[in-house]
Amino acid sequence: MSTNPQAPQAPPHDPSSNKQNPEKLFHTSANHITRNLHHRSIIQKALGGYYLKRDEQKARFSSWQNARTAAASIKYEAINHLDHYLVQFADKIEANGAKVFWASDGSEALQYILAVARQNNVRRIIKSKTMTGEEIHLSQTLANEGYEVVESDLGEFIVQLRQEPPYHIVFPAMHLTRGEISSLFQQKLGSPPSNEPEELTMIARAALRQKYLQADMGISGANFAIAETGMISITENEGNARLSVGLPPIHVVILGIEKIVPRLQDLALLLPMLATAGAGQHLTGYNTLISGPRKTNEPDGPEQMHVILLDNRRTTLLADAEQRDALHCIRCGACLNVCPIFKNIGGHSYGTTYQGPIGSVITPHLRDLQTWKHLSAASSLCGACSETCPVKIDLHHHLLHNRRNAYHLKPNPLEKILWFAFNLFMQSPFLYNLAAPLNRLFTPFFSLLRKTPLDPIRNWTKTRDFPQPPPKSFKELWRQRKKNPPSFQS
């Protein structure tokens, strides 16, 4: 396979630098990518194997459905007593020698990390995958300040070289073929071309080996924070997170406040579920629990550990009781994998840190409802996401709630009038009964307009045929039938 010229183009790296309206960008990008059959086939192929493995793993559970309810109960408990568990977590991990910093927003978190870096004369930073870091543009900010920042997760490493945001919260480079990655490596790392994923992986491995050993600071995210024991839990497959947090003398971990779970034992359920939903594994390669910097009875480990608890408008979402369960999310990415919208428009079209259904639900809260409401509108509400979510977030209903909230506060005048008229019309059987004859009357007229810009349902007919209205509506047929009932045969 060689590089395909029509490989999907990503928007520029830093979305905040982009002054264009996100809704317009979304439409342009989505329209562009949905027509890209190459993209469509890559994503379908990449996810085909996932579905098989996920179903296999789900089937091993005694009851996947009850496990979901139990997992959701754990997160419900945590989120609805967040103040209690956060304090418990922070106190415990501080007692173990870590320093906890509570950041209201991205800039507070960034300032703190920069302060740590300056204080300790940091030059080189190795980073393992963190979507929370992505959310506050951590890598770019540190790089702009002159630090060398290297992403260590293979997928993240690839998209970093391409100067792109991650395509998917779990599989950041799933939109690329080996050919594209090979030529990227050739260009940026000077490596020989290769057609083997294994060889390409080894090129990245070799490129990163020294970086772990040289780094002055390792930055990671966390998948869970355990209140009971004051631990963070990092889930990964590659071992890059373990190396990034185990070798450098400073470990900075950044996590959203919603990552809390009450007890260590909760992981006995959540870790297998995360692995199953996320990648169809029974457990992810490495699940690492860390409760502090190096202790005297340890041969190694960082001298400092900084834990950054990030709010960044999560409390806004928390305040919406109806959608509070969106904070239960364990970022497994399962809802993206099953979402037909995601599969067709691709991760970059969203223009957000979190793509897919969960991104469409939370971005309006984390950023701004009116600017990001189009994401909630761009859904057929099929519900595949809610069905698959391991913590039972009612995702597709929340899309509906976002639509309601957005238009309640700021209706689109034209639509408002349209629906107002619709409502009146539908309340009157008399008016409604006129629909069928009118329909018949206008159909020949509309057929003339087909394929012209005047066609009122052009958005439909451009790509699809519209059914011919039948000679009689059901209501008319029913009346007719009542007048002369059919003689019962047989």
Partner 1 sequence: MIPNSNTNHYLYPPGSREKILCRIREALRIPAPKRHLKDHCNLDSPQFKYPQQNLEHPYKEDSESSEKKNTKENLHPHLSNHRLWLPPVPQDTPGKISLFASLSQTLRTNFQLCPTYSLAKSKLQQLASEENWKTIYTHSEEWKNTLSTILPTTNVLSTHPHYDKHALATADASITNCECLIAQTGSVLISSTYCGGRNLSVLPPHHVVLAEVSQLVGDLTDAFLFLQQKYGSNLPPYISIITGPSRTGDIERILVLGAHGPKKLSIILIEENPPP
Partner 2 sequence: MQISLFVPCFIDQFFPDAALSIVKILEKLGHEVHYPEGQTCCGQPPFNSGYWQEAKGAALHTIRQFRDSEFIVSPSGSCGAMLRVFYPELFAGTKYEAEARQLAPRVWEFSTFLVHKLGVTDLGASFPCRATFHDGCHGLRELGIKQAPRTLLKHVRGLQLIEMSEAETCCGFGGTFAVKFPHISTAMGEVKCASILETSADCVISNDASCLMQIQGILHRMGKLIPCLHIAQVLSKF
Q: Interface residues with ligand SF4 (CB under 6 A)?
A: 277, 329-335, 358, 388-391, 393, 395
Q: Does 470 bind partner 2 (CB under 8 A)?
A: yes
Separation in Å, CA 37 to CA 7, 41, 43, 455? 10, 6, 10, 28
Q: Which amino acid is at 332?
A: C
Q: Which is nearer to partner 2, 174 or 270 (CB)?
A: 174
Which one, of 318, 385, 378, lies nearest residue 357 by Cα?
A: 385
Q: Does 73 bind partner 1 (CB under 8 A)?
A: yes
Which one, of 135, 128, 64, 488, lies nearest residue 313 by Cα?
A: 135
Q: Which is nearer to ligand SF4, 238 or 394 (CB)?
A: 394
88 binds, among ligand SF4, partner 2, partner 1, none (CB under 5 to 8 A by kind): partner 1
Q: Which is nearer to ligand SF4, 161 or 389 (CB)?
A: 389
State the nearest-atom distance from the C-beta of 289 to partner 1, in Å.
Answer: 4
For residue 139, give every residue at least 6 positions away whose Cβ sits within 8 Å of its Cβ, in sequence order, or none: 127, 133, 149, 151, 160
Please report the DSSP string for 234-245 in residue order. EEESSSHHHHHH
CA dihedral 166, 11, 363, 144 (to 10 degrees): 70
Which 278-317 positions form the footprint of partner 1 (CB under 8 A)? 279, 281-295, 297-301, 303-304, 309, 311, 315-316
Q: Does 99 bind partner 1 (CB under 8 A)?
A: yes
Cα(331)–Cα(43) distance, rounded to whole angstroms?
19
346 bridge partner residues? none
Q: Does 86 bind partner 1 (CB under 8 A)?
A: yes
For residue 387, give every residue at least 6 positions away whose Cβ sits within 8 Å of its Cβ, in sequence order, or none: 338
Which 185-224 positions form the footprint of partner 2 (CB under 8 A)? none
Length of the chain: 490
Cα(1)–Cα(8) distance, rounded to whole angstroms?
16
Q: Does 79 bind partner 1 (CB under 8 A)?
A: yes
Residue recorded with tokens 């008016």: 431
Q: Which is nearer to partner 2, 193 or 411 (CB)?
A: 411
Applying CB under 8 A, the site for partner 2 has a residue count of 68
Per-residue string for binding with partner 2, 323-362, x by CB under 8 A? -----------------xx-xxx-----------------
Residue of the chain from 407, 446, 449, 455 that contacts partner 2 (CB under 8 A): 407
CB atoms < 10 A from the CB of 19, how many?
5
Q: What b/e sequence results for 207-242 when a residue is b if at least 16 CB atoms lie within 10 Å of its CB, and e otherwise?
A: bbeebbeebbbbbbbbbbbbbeebbbbbbbebbbbb
Which one, of 6, 5, 342, 351, lies nearest residue 174 by Cα?
A: 342
State the nearest-atom distance from the C-beta of 172 to partner 1, in Å.
Answer: 7
457 binds, among ligand SF4, partner 2, partner 1, none (CB under 5 to 8 A by kind): partner 2
Per-residue string for binding with partner 1, 424-463, x by CB under 8 A? ----------------------------------------
Q: Which is nearer to partner 2, 30 or 254 (CB)?
A: 30
State the nearest-atom distance from the C-beta of 281 to partner 1, in Å.
Answer: 8
Q: Does 74 bind partner 1 (CB under 8 A)?
A: yes
Q: Does 319 bind partner 1 (CB under 8 A)?
A: yes
Which 33-72 positions form the footprint of partner 1 (CB under 8 A)? 42, 45-47, 49-50, 60-70, 72
Which 5-64 positions form the footprint of partner 2 (CB under 8 A)? 30-31, 34-35, 40, 44
Q: Does 15 bind partner 1 (CB under 8 A)?
A: no
55 binds, among ligand SF4, partner 2, partner 1, none (CB under 5 to 8 A by kind): none
Q: Does 191 bind partner 1 (CB under 8 A)?
A: no
Which 120-179 positions form the footprint of partner 1 (CB under 8 A)? 152-155, 158, 171-174, 176-178
Cα(67)–Cα(466) distance, rounded to whole angstroms?
44
CA dihedral 40, 43, 49, 54 (to 10 degrees): -120
Q: Does 380 bind partner 2 (CB under 8 A)?
A: yes
